[in-house]
């Protein structure tokens, strides 16, 4: 696909400074730009690259004032917010490269499934009994859609994703490759012999609108009722969400986060990578959890937590400073003990 600076400016309501007819066919970071690519500059830390970039077009903020001569081949598009405008272009590009409707073969659709308009179904995909699929849905090859699943409009399910029976996925969701939604929760009870007996997991997973789930993340079905991923939640790759968890609206978690069963996570919570959250607790709206932290008990008030167990960030910093001083303190303590022994010896 090929676009001129004039066309791009019209799309993002920008002002062209340079050649309005210069054409681009791809996108690139400003430091890696080549002829025929479009870049953007938002962070002042990257300003140095705009004076040497080979990109043909660069989107900049209205406030940008060059301190050096720009490359003669570079055309600028000035906008109110370069970052958000570039994100808008990326979204438009993604829509243009979206799979066109059609059903590839071999694939399987149950006769009892109800399919909306403009479905793309990739080869070797499976759609089970009584499935309801909305309009403009994209399901890539090797995806599995179990019986009684409901999928909303404009949702994209990437290759190899598995949606177990009875689960619900809302509108405009993105389910990346290898995601498993609705596998059994980790439910076992020891019998009189000390052997673990499986507790049947008869609930489901409900994913609301505008959710994105990263590759190889697993979301377990509820023992009874539902595991909930609320509207606007963003989950990174390789996360584990256990049975009966409820993740509040517009919460985000980075890779390798683990959430144990029946935890209730509030709205607008941010969770760093490899954090662990114990089961049967609640986390207050707006809480921030630093990477690799452990949360063993309920968080009643929004705060930024770090460490294991997680404590307020300022407290952790003070504690860490003390921890780093421990070798020095121990050395001093040993010297004082030695001096004390010598004093006692001299006195005797």
Predicted confidence (pLDDT) at residue 347 exceeds the cutoff of 80: no
Q: What is the pLDDT of residues 43-98, one digit of tens each?
A: 999 999 999 999 999 999 999 999 999 999 999 999 999 999 998 888 888 777 78
**Residues 118, 158, 176, 243: which is the catalytic one?**
243
Instruction: Output 205 or 334, whichever has higher pLDDT.
Output: 205
Q: Residue 324 pLDDT more than 90?
A: no
**Residues 258, 115 within the same domain:** yes
CATH number at residue 283: 2.160.10.10
Question: Rounded mean pLDDT of 279-294?
Answer: 97
Are both 48 and 172 inside the same structural domain? no
Domain boundary among 96, 112, 146: 96
The per-residue DSSP string of 127-174 comes to E-TT-EE-TT-EE-TT-EE-TT-EE-TT-EE-TT-EE-TT-EE-TT-E
Domain shared by 284 and 306, yes or no: yes
Of 202, 317, 214, the C-alpha closest to 256 is 214
Indicate whether 78 and 158 sit together in one domain. Answer: no
Question: How many structural domains comprise the chain?
Answer: 3
Is residue 140 located within the same domain as residue 275? yes
Q: Are residues 159 and 203 in the same domain?
A: yes
Cis peptide before 90 (omega within 30 of 0): no
Model confidence band, residue 33 (pLDDT cutoffs 50, 70, 90): very high
pLDDT digits (tens, 9 = 90+) for 247-257: 999 999 999 99
Q: Examine the pLDDT at 224 and tell me if it is beyond 90.
A: yes
Would the pLDDT of 241 be above 90? Answer: yes
Average pLDDT in the chain: 94
The verdict on 151 and 26 lying in the same domain is no
Q: What is the pTM of this model?
A: 0.83
Question: Across the chain, how many H-helices and E-strands are there?
Answer: 4, 40
Q: Is 250 one of the annotated active-site residues of the chain?
A: no
Residue 160: which of 136, 140, 146, 137 has the closest Cα? 140
Q: What pLDDT does residue 343 have?
A: 84
Q: Domain check: are 162 and 180 in the same one? A: yes
User: pLDDT of 130-161, one tens digit each?
Assistant: 999 999 999 999 999 999 999 999 999 999 99
Tell me, yes or no, whether 154 and 284 share the same domain: yes
181 & 80 share domain: no
Give the model's confidence band at 242: pLDDT under 50 very low, under 70 low, under 90 confident, else very high.
Answer: very high
- Domain hosting 329: range is 321-347
Give the torsion through C-alpha atoms of 65, 70, 72, 77, to 10 deg: -40
- Residue % of the chain over a pLDDT of 70: 100
Whether 138 and 282 map to the same domain: the answer is yes
For residue 348, the model assigns a pLDDT of 67
**pLDDT of 85-139, one tens digit each?**
998 888 888 777 788 999 999 999 999 999 999 999 999 999 999 999 999 999 9
Residues 145 and 223 in one domain: yes
Distance CA 138, CA 157 (A): 6
């Amino acid at each position: 696909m090929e676009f001129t600076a004039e066309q791009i400016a019209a799309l993002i309501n920008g002002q062209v400074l340079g050649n309005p007819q210069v054409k681009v066919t791809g996108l690139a970071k400003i430091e890696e730009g080549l002829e025929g690519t479009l870049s953007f500059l938002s962070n002042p830390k990257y300003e140095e690259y705009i004076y040497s970039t080979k990109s043909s077009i660069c989107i900049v903020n209205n406030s940008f004032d060059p301190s050096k001569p720009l490359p003669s081949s570079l055309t600028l598009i000035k906008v109110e917010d370069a970052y958000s405008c570039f994100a808008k272009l990326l979204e438009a590009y993604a829509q243009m490269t979206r799979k066109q409707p059609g059903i590839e073969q071999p694939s399987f659709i149950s006769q009892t499934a109800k399919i909306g308009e403009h479905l793309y179904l990739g080869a070797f995909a499976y759609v089970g009994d009584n499935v309801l699929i909305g309009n403009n849905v994209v399901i890539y090859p090797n995806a599995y859609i179990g019986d009684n699943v409901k999928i909303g409009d404009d949702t994209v399910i990437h290759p190899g994703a598995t949606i177990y029976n009875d689960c619900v996925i809302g509108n405009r969701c993105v389910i990346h490759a290898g995601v498993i939604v609705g596998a059994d929760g980790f439910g076992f009870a020891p019998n009189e012999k000390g052997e673990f007996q499986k507790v049947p997991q008869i609930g489901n997973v409900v994913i609301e609108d505008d959710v994105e789930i990263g590759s190889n993340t697993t979301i377990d079905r509820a023992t009874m009722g539902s595991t909930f991923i609320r509207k606007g939640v963003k989950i990174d790759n390789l996360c584990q969400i256990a049975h009966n968890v409820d993740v509040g609206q517009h919460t985000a978690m980075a890779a390798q986060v683990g959430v144990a069963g029946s935890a209730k996570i509030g709205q607008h919570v941010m969770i760093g990578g490899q954090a662990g959250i114990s089961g049967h607790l609640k986390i207050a709206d707006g809480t921030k959890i630093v990477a690799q932290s452990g949360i063993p008990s309920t968080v009643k008030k929004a705060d930024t937590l770090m460490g294991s167990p997680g404590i307020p960030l300022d407290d952790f910093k003070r504690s860490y400073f003390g921890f780093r001083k421990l070798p020095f303190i121990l050395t001093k303590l040993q010297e004082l003990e030695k001096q004390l022994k010598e004093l006692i010896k001299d006195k005797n």
